Amino acid sequence: MKNTLINKSQKNRTNSLIKFGLVAIVVALLISASHLLIKVYKTDKLIVNEKANRNQDNVAISTLYWETYVNEAYRYSIKYPNLLYKREYVNQGGYGHFVRFEETRYSADIGIGIGVSVSSLEDETARIKEQLAKEGANLTRESEMVVLDNAAKKLVFDPLEEGGAGRVVVVVSRDTLTFSFSTTPEYMSVYLSTLKFYSNFAKAVESDSTDEAKQ
């Protein structure tokens, strides 16, 4: 009888230890999960802050892992950060074709908008200045430039919001078309350095593919 009571006591003690161990494991898992969520939140917040303050960082921008966007209809290509989201429109906003590479919560790079229209350099420049003036943008500088042997104009606008990034629009005239590129000042030269226009499109794209394969 005495041995039976001892065995029951030991069994109860063992069950209690097992239950305590299970509770301890559950608590540890909950604590680990909470730390993980806090870490993810902080990471997302850091990415957003980096993107908002990019214009103040003067960080070198690498295009090593950028992807190439190719537009066969208008015979050009340009590289863009692979985490940006692409949207394309036809016959909207005065453009025959418009593509926008938008920033996401996962991208630290700044996007770009590219519009193609059948217009002269002067007419397209005037239209853009009028449109952005209606949005409240203040034009601070206008200058002439050359992009890949094509006449172009550069328009520099103040930030729309205090602490925000300014905007630069470069309008390039090529044959009967104008190409308008819109992004922030520090990203404009980087994007334009990846821009290519094609006369013989098929051969040019084949050559580009060969060059990328070598890299």
Residue 22 reports pLDDT greater than 70: no
Give me the amino acid identity at 42: K
Q: Which of 9-13, 86-90, 152-156 has the lowest mean pLDDT?
A: 9-13
Write the DSSP assignment of the chain as a string of letters: -HHHHHHHHHHHHHHHHHHHHHHHHHHHHHHHHHHHHHHHHHHHHHHHHHHHTGGGT-PPPP-TT-EEEEETTTTEEEEE-TTSEEEEEEEETTEEEEEEEE--TT--S--EEEEEES--HHHHHHHHHHHHHHTT--EEEEEEEEETTEEEEEEEE--SSTTS--EEEEEEEETTEEEEEEE-HHHHHHHHHT-EE-SSHHHHHHHHHHHHHH-
Phi and psi at 196, nearest 5°, equal -140, 140
Q: What is the pLDDT of residues 78-130, one digit of tens each?
A: 999 999 999 999 999 889 999 999 999 998 899 999 999 999 999 999 999 99
Section 66-70 average pLDDT:
96
Both tokens of 173, joined, read 């005239």
